[in-house]
Amino acid sequence: MDDDPATFRERFQQALQFRHACRAFEPGRRVAQEDIEYVLEAGRLSPSSLGLEHWRFVVVQDPASKEALQQACAGQPQVGSASAVVVILAREQDLAPDSEYVATMLRREAPGPAEFASLLDFYRHFAQHNDVTAWSIAQCHIAAANLMTAAAVIGVDSCPIGAFSASAVLDALGITSRADVVALVVALGYREHAPAPKQRLPLSDIVEYR
């Protein structure tokens, strides 16, 4: 890959223009396993608050499981027709301030015992005064955005699905534990039809400098 910054900028912009919410995938055309792993790696490398890596990824490729997921997602056809569906789970129980997971992850950010104790106190205060579940889901959306952009870079289409029954999604996955919550469902495949022109407000409508 050309390391020239201008080339990188152009390729990235092309990916952003290519990406759209694909609602009709080409039947029978599969996304290669190496491409799925490339996309998942982009999610894994995403930034997360306090480095807690709030996400888990469940990849669904089995036709019957995709059909069950489709029903859990208000019957949206892109879920069933996708080559693969990534269900992004947001950690919930793991984020309890005194959990072993939190301790393990925060120790990575703290160079010594005093720094770890201070960081853990900060997190306890944060967890006491904020909706940790909503925060965890929001962190997972960062990973979802990177995942979909990475898919666009390699010519794979995606569609984020936010309309779902969380309990039905977990049932479709055969997950009986409720340690995690469903953050987002992302369908992956190849577009069956050319998308409509992208519509976005101009920067002048959404940005102000102070």
Q: According to the 3-state scheme, what is the secondary structure of 153-173?
A: HCCCEEEEECCCCHHHHHHHH
Which residue, 119, 118, 127, 125, is CA-closest to 96? 127
Composition of the chain by helix, strand, coil, percent to 5: 50, 15, 35
Give the residue among 89, 116, 109, 114 at the shortest CA–CA distance from 181.
89
Instruction: Provide the pLDDT for residue 6.
Output: 82
Per-chain mean pLDDT for the chain: 96
Q: Length of the chain in residues, anyone?
A: 210
The pair of three-digit structure tokens given for residue 61, joined into one six-digit string: 């490729």
Domain residue spans in the chain?
20-195
The reported pLDDT for the residue numbered 3 is 72
Provide CATH code, domain 20-195: 3.40.109.10
Retrieve residue 64's tokens. 């019957």
pLDDT in tens, 92-105: 999 999 999 999 99
Task: Identify the band that residue 2 occupies on the pLDDT scale cut at 50, 70 and 90.
Answer: low
Span 142-176, pLDDT tens digits: 999 999 999 999 999 999 999 999 999 999 999 99
Q: Which residues contact 77 (CB under 8 A, 6 or more apart)?
A: 23, 24, 70
Residue 19 pLDDT greater than 80, yes or no: yes
**Closest by alpha carbon to 100, among 52, 59, 48, 146?**
52
At 25-79, the pLDDT tens digits run: 998 899 999 999 999 999 999 999 999 999 999 999 999 999 999 999 999 999 9
Q: How far apart are CA 140 and CA 131, in angstroms?
A: 15
**Angle (CA) 29 31 34, round 5°:** 150
Q: What is the pLDDT of residues 108-126, one digit of tens each?
A: 999 999 999 999 999 999 9
User: What's the pTM value of the predicted model, to 2 decimals?
Assistant: 0.94
